[in-house]
Structure 1
Amino acid sequence: MLEQKSRDLFLANQKLSAYSADLQQAVLERTAELRLALERAEAASAARSRFLATMSHEIRTPLGGLLGMIDLLSMDEADPEKLELLTNAKTAGAGLNRIVNDVLDFSKMEAGVFLYEEENVDIRALIESIRILAASHAHGANRKLIARIDESVPKLFRGDATRMRQVVSNLVNNALRFSTDGPIIIRAQASPHPDGAMLRVEVEDFGVGIAQSQFEHLFKDFTQITNPLTAAAQGTGLGLAISKRIIDGIGGRISVNSTEGEGSTFWFEVPVRVVSRPDAQGGAENADHSGLAAVDAMGKRVLIAEDNIINQKLLLAYLDRMNIKADLAENGRVALEKFAPGKYDLLLMDVAMPEMDGLEATRRIRDKWPASQIPPILALTAHVMDAIEEEAHLVGIDRILSKPIPFEDLKLAIEIALASAGRAGRDASPAPVLNDPEMSQGSGNRSFFDLMSPDAYEMLLNVFGEDGLTDFAANFVRDSTTRIEALLAAEQAGDSSEVGIQAHSLKGAAMAFGFADMSEWVRQIEAEETQLHDRTVTQTAEKFRAKLQMLGALLDQ
């Protein structure tokens, strides 16, 4: 009996071992399938991001030149008939620009690369700037735009100023386009909320109104309701759809109250966290510097770094009209050679340039000279701003301006930058450089984990815990340092196979921590696409190594 039981046990163990081997093989196969699917998904996401960045740059660059040249011609034209033609051309170009922006924003949302920021927001200054800008446009001419901000609205709160401006601007522009007379009223009020306050913003018009049966179609993609003004207003039918996605993305809700023939009130509500005291980023930048007196730019000296010939002529003509002394650099390398402390009052730095881009030039300038000797640096870009915003702030760009930029907007941006620099110079203690990676968002230094994407941080924190995540981050820095050095050595030795292997490993590691920019750099190396971005493999790898060193320094603090 014992022998039989022993044999039965032996046979059972054999079966169990077979099952275990089969299960292990199935797990390995499934893991390989999942890894392949993940790599394909990552490749598809990267391809979408590259497509959006390329489309944005390739469309906005010539469009910016077109609108700028129309601006310049309009300034000098005295013939009423020709001026009317130029005005119509400018209106058409502005409409095209709006459509391009809507389509790109919608595409970013579909691709999952639409980003939200958290910063101090002054809703009063934001609404006032929208009101002034809308009144200066064709639809706002001879129209009364009224802003009514209730005392219950906090002076500052945390939120995404850019996205909130986009939604309010869209609602105001729609109100102007879909009504012919009567005032446009922008209201804001707040009520208590567990997170701090519930902000409600309304935009009311007295136009044709909307039938209740049409409400369900208002916020759908590529949909416009039918009314007497729809055909004249034109558009993609994306404005309200994008606004809804933005408000949904920040945890709010958006809707409309309307009576046909009497007018409409579009509104949104979002929970906000009230700021009792401004932090290091403060509210000035995000509030359009409403507390700064404009500085006359006449006689100031500006260095323009721009490689596109049309944009060179446009910017030189713009600055000439501002009575600004402009010096031109054809790329970032020339800008770096021409710059010297005290030589310029401001730098206008294009982002995408051959030999050396604007971000790299800015980084080298800030590495070479102390902050007190560097004037404001404004970046000009035709790329999707989300794609470069983090890196631009890391290298020390003070403000990003999106092409095409009208004359008045550029003039205002320059005056604001000069006013900020003048105020910083008068302060008893120097103000921190905006968005310097060594500075905090509050008190203390910014950490390694602040630079991770929120989704990656939350996922890894749940897996490793705080201490484990710190160790994991340290391992990432050590391993990636070894691998980037191996990549550079392989590139110098001409071993393209080893370069691709190291780049592939670095890509996955960087993506795991949510460092999309670093992952994209090594992806370009792996795919042998660095030349498409006007960089060599070594230059791209050096950018990766520079940020890795900065991350390591943050971990060591």
Structure 2
Amino acid sequence: MEDAFAGDGGASMVTVDGTSMHVTYSPVDLQSNRWAVLLIQPTEDAFSEAYANQRQAVIVAALVIAVMGITEYILFRAMHRNMQLADKLEAVNEDLKVANRDLDQKAGELQKVDAAKEEFAAMITHELKTPLVPIIGFTELMADGTLGELTPLQKEKVRVMHDSAVSLSNLITDLLDVRKLELSKMKFDLVEVPAREFLERSIDAFRPLADSKKISLSYDVQDGHDGELGVKCDPKRIQQVMNNLISNAIKFVPEKTGMIQVSARKAPSDGAVEFAVRDNGIGIPKEKQNEIFKKFYQVDTTLRRQSGGTGLGLAISKGIVEAHGGRMWFESTPGAGTTFYFSIPSGPTMGNGRGEKN
């Protein structure tokens, strides 16, 4: 250990009894003597902390490498999935484009079919009504004796022919009106008309039928302080609505005790002209009230067979009113009667017959 007394000190490794020893030494000068300080310890003990730090560093490095590897794997999987998803979206987009082209083609074909149906319906309607005109005319002439006297039995049969022809003509007209409303093809000519005229014309038209059944038929118009109550509308179509409602009321009120009251007023809420047809008939069952405006719907099929009718009147009437920008509704108590209302707004904006605006 001569080196322990020379130089500035140092360290060395020695083996003692087969054990590796770590020797740290440093010379020390005391007065005239030179001494050496030695620290001898097993090598394992001397470097235990360094070994521990080394192991810890290795573990940390391994964890960092593992985390980075896992992260890269997750990112790779995510990118892979995104690429797959992008491919799928692109494929779906292409499919949608193809489907959209197919739908456009189908829509074009349906428009052509619809146009053909409309043309066919117009042609059939014309062709069906054309032969009915002379049938109705000649049966009227036969019934009143213009073409010669008939026996009572012959007159009865001619009257059946006439009534059947008129019913068929009305059915064709109703079908054509429904089709026009569905296709927004019904035309309206708006003019200002006194509301009283609609009521008086309908009352005059149905008075003979009401009197024959001893049904009370009356009307009331609430004119405003500023003059006669007027409504801007298509008079022919609104008259059609009023006639439909009164005709239905006559069918469902009892003979001799039946009462029908027609009225018109200015609605206080929005200034619209509100019409009402009130009766004391059988009313509408609650379970059938949601169906009343459907096409071909009849509340009582027995009465339908007795009184006729197509089940289109209310559907047509509602379509006409809504095309004027108005609305139609009713109140009914089974066994106590029904009141149908419809309103036409002041200065109506014409719609398409289904309650929508053009």
TM-score of the superposed pair, with normalisation by structure 2: 0.60
Change (3 A) 1:35 1:245: same
Change (3 A) 1:119 1:38: farther
Distance in structure 1 (CA, Å) of the matches to 2:118 and 2:205: 31
Which of the residues 37, 45, 48 maps onto 2:117?
48
SS of 2:299's partner is coil
Superposition pairs of residues 277-426 of structure 1, within 5 angstroms: none
Q: Please say if residues 222 and 229 of structure 2, whose CA atoms lie closer than 8 Å, have aligned partners that are also in contact.
A: no
Distance in structure 2 (CA, Å) of the matches to 1:104 and 1:94: 15
Letter in 1 for 2:126: H
SS of 1:115's partner is coil
Which of the residues 156, 174, 184 maps onto 2:260?
184
Q: Which residue is 2:276 aligned to? A: 202
Q: Which runs of 5+ in 2 are unaligned?
A: 1-97
Distance in structure 2 (CA, Å) of the matches to 1:130 and 1:216: 27
Letter in 2 for 1:92: S
Change (3 A) 1:247 1:157: closer
Q: Which residue is 2:171 aligned to? A: 99
Letter in 2 for 1:103: L
Distance in structure 2 (CA, Å) of the matches to 1:138 and 1:91: 18
Letter in 2 for 1:224: Q
Superposition pairs of residues 117-128 of structure 1, within 5 angstroms: 117-128=189-200
| Greater share of residues in strand | 2
Using the TM superposition, give the Cα deviation of residue 201 of structure 1 relative to its aligned residue in structure 2, in angstroms. Answer: 0.9
Q: Which residue is 1:449 aligned to? A: none
Using the TM superposition, give the Cα deviation of residue 131 of structure 1 relative to its aligned residue in structure 2, in angstroms. Answer: 1.8
Q: Which residue is 1:540 aligned to? A: none
Distance in structure 2 (CA, Å) of the matches to 1:142 and 1:81: 27
Q: Which residue is 1:219 aligned to? A: 293
Q: Which residue is 2:46 aligned to? A: none
Identity of aligned residues (%): 29
Q: Which residue is 2:203 aligned to? A: 131
Number of residue pairs matched? Answer: 250
Change (3 A) 1:92 1:110: same
Q: Which residue is 1:73 aligned to? A: 142
Using the TM superposition, give the Cα deviation of residue 58 of structure 1 relative to its aligned residue in structure 2, in angstroms. Answer: 0.6
Change (3 A) 1:71 1:138: farther
Distance in structure 2 (CA, Å) of the matches to 1:63 and 1:87: 14
What per-residue deviation string (whole Å, max 9, x for no partner) do you get for residues 130-174 of structure 1?
A: 222223459966544222111138543321222211211110111
Using the TM superposition, give the Cα deviation of residue 272 of structure 1 relative to its aligned residue in structure 2, in angstroms. Answer: 2.3
Superposition pairs of residues 533-552 of structure 1, within 5 angstroms: none
Letter in 2 for 1:188: A
Letter in 2 for 1:65: P
Change (3 A) 1:116 1:44: farther
Change (3 A) 1:31 1:133: same
SS of 1:273's partner is coil
Instruction: Say which one has the larger Rg.
Output: 2
RMSD: 3.4
Change (3 A) 1:32 1:179: same
SS of 2:309's partner is coil
TM-score of the superposed pair, with normalisation by structure 1: 0.40
Using the TM superposition, give the Cα deviation of residue 267 of structure 1 relative to its aligned residue in structure 2, in angstroms. Answer: 1.4
Change (3 A) 1:198 1:47: same
Using the TM superposition, give the Cα deviation of residue 109 of structure 1 relative to its aligned residue in structure 2, in angstroms. Answer: 2.6
